Amino acid sequence: MSQVIQIVRTPADLRAAMAAWRKAGLRTALVPTMGALHAGHLALVAEARRRADVVAASIFVNPKQFGPNEDFARYPRDEAGDAAKLREAGCALLFAPEVGDVYPPGFATSVKLAGLPDVLCGAARPGHFDGVATVVTKLLATARADVAVFGEKDWQQLAIVRRLAADLDLGTDIVGAPIVRDGDGLALSSRNAYLSAEERVAAVALPRALGEAAAALQAGDDVAAVLDTARGRLAAAGFGPIDYVALVDGATLVAIGAPTPGARLLAAAFLGRTRLIDNLAV
């Protein structure tokens, strides 16, 4: 596509652009990202275009969701390349603020949910989902889009966003888009760029272990034994530490003892210095 993508930097400019679209009678969509865009992100844009007349995307590496020893400083950034990808994907607007635009001097508010952020990735990364919830609430309240699209790869994040949007009556329909995978099954992630060539080969053990576990659960095997086997397969492939391999209710994230409608099998583990996550419906 040859269209020009509009780039705005401030919440006020994002609010004005989205309001102008609504005034023109257009259905609007928002795709929040942290940049370093890959085919998975562009699939979110494609889903948003199916559901709306115009699509805005955001790129913001949110410092509030990174812990003190995490990868905020080295997280990959390529705004020019990302803007070109969004333009080609049919995105009409890019919101790319600086940290000071989102958290100006004196900013003192945090959005915290009960329960959902305290398990799984939240237990391994304290405070992470408070940062996610705060920035997503700001984005949704500012944009007031009809629909916002998030990837299912971070299932816990998706569940949290759905809950906060409903609890705070933000008026935006939250849509989850399916995971996009490489040919060998590894879920696409900006952090995959951190993997060495050897680690990239080993990383496929994560989706394979989950696939085997899902099949075993559907066959009626004991849940605890299946999860232990999956952890063992990951450890044998070089993963460690393994934060969790869990079978949970997809909405509440509560651990369950048998597959039920809406159940989700989730895992998070380190391969070298890179933390990978993945999940499957069961």
To the nearest 10°, the Cα dihedral for 181, 49, 52, 143?
Answer: 70
CB atoms within 10 A of CB 254: 11
| Residue of 144, 137, 141 whose CA lies nearest to 162 | 137
Residues 44 and 106 in one domain: yes
Residues 7-46: tens digit of each pLDDT: 999 999 999 999 999 999 999 999 999 999 999 999 999 9
Total domains in the chain come to: 2
To the nearest 10°, the Cα dihedral for 61, 182, 129, 223?
Answer: -170
What's the angle, vertex CA 267, arms to CA 133 and CA 199, rounded to 5? Answer: 110
- The verdict on whether 128 is a catalytic residue reads no
Residues 112 and 81 in one domain: yes
**pLDDT of 150 strictly over 70:** yes
Residues 37 and 114 in one domain: yes
Residues 106 and 244 in one domain: no
Residues 169-224: tens digit of each pLDDT: 999 999 999 999 999 999 999 999 999 999 999 999 999 999 999 999 999 999 99
Distance CA 260, CA 215 (A): 14
Last residue of a domain, one of 177, 203, 237: 177
What pLDDT is attached to residue 2? Answer: 46
Single pTM value for the model: 0.96
Q: Could you tell me if 243 and 128 are in contact, meaning their C-beta atoms sit under 8 angstroms apart?
A: no
Give the 3-state DSSP-derived string for 199-239, with helices as H, strands as E and coil as C.
HHHHHCHHHHHHHHHHHHHHCCCCHHHHHHHHHHHHHHCCC
183 within a domain of the structure (yes/no): no
**Mode of pairing for the β-strands spanning 54-59 and 93-95:** parallel
What pLDDT is attached to residue 268? Answer: 98
Position 237 confidence tier, pLDDT thresholds 50, 70, 90 = very high
Last residue of a domain, one of 177, 212, 231: 177
282 within a domain of the structure (yes/no): no
Position 3 confidence tier, pLDDT thresholds 50, 70, 90 = confident
Residues 227 and 90 in one domain: no
Residues 82-111: tens digit of each pLDDT: 999 999 999 999 999 999 999 999 999 999
When the pLDDT of each residue in the chain is averaged and rounded to a whole number, the result is: 97
281 within a domain of the structure (yes/no): no
Residue 153: burial class (beta carbons within 10 Å; 0-12, 13-18, 19+): buried
173 within a domain of the structure (yes/no): yes
- Calculate helix-pair angle for 223-236, 205-218, nearest 10 degrees: 160
Residues 61 and 124 in one domain: yes
State the CATH number of the domain containing residue 156.
3.40.50.620
Residue 236, domain extent: 190-276
Residues 166 and 87 in one domain: yes
- Catalytic residue selected from 21, 41, 136, 194: 41
What pLDDT is attached to residue 224? Answer: 98
What pLDDT is attached to residue 1? Answer: 42
- Percent of the chain beyond pLDDT 70? 99
Tokens for 103, please give them.
């958290």
Reduced to 3 states (helix: H, G, I; strand: E, B; else coil), residue 274 is strand
- Percent of the chain beyond pLDDT 90? 98
Please give the average per-residue pLDDT across 238-249, as a whole number: 98
Residues 197 and 163 in one domain: no
Residue with tokens 């099998």: 265
245 within a domain of the structure (yes/no): yes
231 within a domain of the structure (yes/no): yes
